[in-house]
Amino acid sequence: MENYRRREFIKLLGAGGVLSLLKTGKASAGGVNAVIELPPLPFQESLITGREKGGRVLIVGGIHGNEPGAYKAAEILRHLKVKKGELLIAPRTNFVSILTNRRGYNGDMNRKFAHISKKDPDYPKVKKLKELIKNYKPDLLLTLHDGFGFHSVNPKAWGQCIVIDEEVYKGIELGKAAKTVSKRVNALIDRKKWKIPVFNTHTFRKNTKHPEQRKSLTYFCLKECSVPAICLEVSKQLPDLYHKVKFHILMIREFFKLHGVETEPSIDTVLKNLNEFLEPRVSYSTQLLINGRKVEVSSDKTFKLPKGSSVKFLSFRGTEGTNAITEDVNANLRKVGIRKRISFDVKDDFKKLFTVRFVVG
């Protein structure tokens, strides 16, 4: 990681007039003509407790940034009330990868739960998620993903299946629940190709065909925390986002039934009105502070800045997925210095809304 960041830094010095690393934070330092700052990307989490006792379920979305069915489903659930049981939802655990629409901007985050360097940009997120699991100790963790292909057609494909690490691990029943959910959901699916079977990776066996899974979130939950953990995969090859989210929520509904979790509105109501949940009517904008003056931007805009300028993105109006990102420099950086120009895309998750450009001179 250190070499990668150094290469990017050197490349940008010569190519874009951008200085990607600021130690002083001042526009007069080292040829920097303006400083642009964004707020830190939040680690989003919501704990929703019902009036009646029931199961406690932790739902994780967004470990892979190019899997919108997963984090959109988690986001919808995050805004429901809970009638019975308890939900802890972390919808966008890898926000930088979501905004850049990449599987893992800093590498595959789902291969970092066995070991991760403190120098890795993903370290704070992985550490936070581990602490969340250890402290909350849910009755069930569901991690949501969009995988390639259809497992019912190709057993090597990860799309459209329920993934377990073992049938039973140290008394923790995984297979029984997974098979029950699979049977119930498949009864509602007409297309054979879209059926959702159970995929057992046998991760704990010495001769497993999937040793890489020993670095995954579900393996960490089982081995280190004794928390039942199951991965829900829908297919990237489904026709649209609607179907991806629908299948995630169908599976989640059945796991909720098994664990005594009920929401308001009900999951059935969510499914009947899924388009409304997927496409909320919101207005988008960002508020900037440019050399002490507040400016609101809601469409493509270019600002010409004098040397010595200071710019801050103060806030974003829209959904919980609304934020800004630049790929002119390392997207992990939330404070950059520029010599000439830089562009920031304001996005709603993967969807670009408008671009804000800054030019010095």
Per-residue 3-state assignment (H helix, E strand, C coil) for 29-56: CCCCCEEEECCCCCCCCEEEECCEEEEE
Report whether pLDDT(118) > 60. Answer: yes
pLDDT digits (tens, 9 = 90+) for 73-102: 999 999 999 999 999 999 999 999 999 999
pLDDT for residue 28? 47
pLDDT digits (tens, 9 = 90+) for 167-205: 999 999 999 999 999 999 999 999 999 999 999 999 999
pLDDT above 90 covers what percent of the chain? 91
Query: What are the Cα distances from residue 131, in Å, to 1, 139, 141, 215, 292?
Result: 24, 16, 14, 17, 39
pLDDT for residue 126? 98
Distance CA 18, CA 336 (A): 8
Closest CA to 99 of 321, 263, 265, 341: 321
Distance CA 247, CA 239 (A): 12
Report whether pLDDT(251) > 50. Answer: yes
Radius of gyration of the chain (CA): 22
CB 269 within 8 A of CB 262: no
Distance CA 106, CA 205 (A): 29
Distance CA 234, CA 161 (A): 7
Per domain, the residue ranges of the chain are 2-32+284-360, 46-278
Q: What is the pLDDT of the chain when averaged over all its residues? A: 93
* CATH T-level topology, domain 46-278: Aminopeptidase (3.40.630)
Annotate 112-133 with DSSP letters as a single string. -SS---TTSTTHHHHHHHHHHH
Backbone phi, psi, residue 79, to 5°: -100, 10
Long-range pairs of 154-159 with CB within 8 A, sequence gap ≥ 24:
155/199, 157/235, 158/199, 158/233, 159/233, 159/234, 159/235, 159/236, 159/237
| Distance between start and end Cα atoms, the chain | 34
Token match 């303006």: residue?
Answer: 34
Report whether pLDDT(65) > 60. Answer: yes
Report whether pLDDT(15) > 70. Answer: no
Q: How many residues does the chain have?
A: 361
pLDDT for residue 26? 55
The letter for the amino acid at 7 is R
Does residue 226 come out as left (phi exceeding 0), alpha (psi in the -120 to 50 range) or beta? Answer: left
**pLDDT tier at 19, thresholds 50, 70, 90:** low
Report whether pLDDT(43) > 60. Answer: yes
Distance CA 26, CA 29 (A): 6
pLDDT for residue 16? 42
Token match 């989003």: residue?
Answer: 44
Token match 């159970």: residue?
Answer: 198
**pLDDT tier at 31, thresholds 50, 70, 90:** confident
